């Protein structure tokens, strides 16, 4: 199935320009049979979310809601994995041929969110956000990311290293983000990820004393100590 998905950036640009001329009617008239169920489930998921009149499509809650559905269906029914998720061709195809109306409703006619900017393609970002935050079960993952925001999505997806994402390490960083007093530190995830980028060049987290969990705890402790010092001075 996936081996037959060939969708260059030039093809994506052409398709986007077609959609741009009449965005309100961009729902695909025909979808390849294999991807019909994916589209049906995603559109149904959107409608369920919007039944509550207090919810907004342009929100972190919507991204998380659709992210879990996308992650679940692709894994269960389409044999999806990290190798496929790293291919922008896949996301361009899904964005412009299978779910263009959904992407449009969420992001407007923003070419970066459809195909143009690798780390901004909306479907790609919500899939990777769930994958990089995964805590073993959907229930545990929902709990650990419930207090996050759209900024956390961008921060995680943007931190792509030379060798790709450090999945186990990133999941531990997310797990510890909201424990103890960590949430009190402004823009904490951005700071921790930046510090990690510097440290990981010199230290292999899995080989540090106490392993990845201890390594990540040290990252957070660095900022919690600094916060304590600031609070003491302000008294």
- Could you report the per-residue pLDDT of 103-132, keeping only the tens digit for each? 999 999 999 999 999 999 999 999 999 999
Chain Cα centroid distance, residue 34: 24
The pLDDT of residue 33 is above 60:
yes
The pLDDT of residue 231 is above 60:
no
Task: Give, to the nearest 10 degrees, the angle between helix 138-145 and helix 122-133.
Answer: 100
**Res 126: pLDDT:** 98
The pLDDT of residue 179 is above 90:
no
**Residue whose entry in the numeric block shows the structure tokens 């695909």:** 28
CA angle (114, 197, 201) in 5-degree steps? 130
**Sequence-separated (6 or more) residues with CB below 8 Å from residue 172:** 212, 213, 216
Mean pLDDT value of segment 73-77: 97
**Sequence-separated (6 or more) residues with CB below 8 Å from residue 52:** none
The pLDDT of residue 228 is above 80:
no
Mean pLDDT value of segment 146-170: 89
Reported confidence tier of residue 72, pLDDT bands at 50, 70, 90:
very high
**Res 164: pLDDT:** 86
**Res 36: pLDDT:** 97
Q: Which long-range contacts (CB under 8 A, 24 or more apart) does 202-211 make?
A: 205/166, 205/169, 206/168
Q: Which of 107-116, 181-190, 225-234 has the lowest mean pLDDT?
A: 225-234
Reported confidence tier of residue 186, pLDDT bands at 50, 70, 90:
low
> Chain-wide mean pLDDT for the chain?
91
**Residue whose entry in the numeric block shows the structure tokens 């390490």:** 169
Tokens of 95: 């964005």
């Amino acid at each position: 199935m996936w081996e037959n998905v060939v969708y260059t950036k030039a093809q994506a640009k052409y398709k986007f320009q077609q959609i741009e001329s009449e965005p309100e009617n961009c729902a695909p008239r025909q979808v390849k049979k294999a991807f019909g169920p994916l589209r049906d489930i995603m559109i149904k998921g959107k409608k369920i979310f919007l039944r509550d009149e207090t919810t907004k499509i342009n929100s972190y809650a919507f991204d998380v809601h659709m992210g879990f559905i996308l992650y679940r269906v692709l894994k269960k029914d389409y044999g999806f994995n990290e190798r496929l998720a790293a291919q922008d061709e896949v996301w361009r195809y899904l964005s412009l041929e299978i779910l263009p109306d959904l992407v449009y409703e969420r992001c407007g006619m923003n070419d970066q969110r459809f195909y143009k900017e690798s780390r901004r393609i909306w479907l790609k970002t919500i899939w990777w956000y769930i994958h990089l935050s995964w805590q073993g079960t959907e229930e545990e993952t929902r709990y650990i990311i419930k207090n996050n925001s759209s900024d956390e999505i961008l921060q995680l997806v943007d931190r792509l290293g030379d060798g790709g994402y450090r999945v186990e390490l990133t999941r531990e960083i997310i797990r510890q983000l909201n424990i103890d007093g960590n949430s009190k530190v402004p823009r904490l995830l951005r700071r921790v990820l930046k510090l990690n980028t510097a440290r990981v060049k010199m230290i292999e987290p899995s080989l540090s004393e106490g392993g990845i969990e201890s390594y990540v705890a040290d990252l957070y402790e660095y900022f919690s100590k600094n916060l304590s010092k600031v609070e003491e001075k302000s008294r």
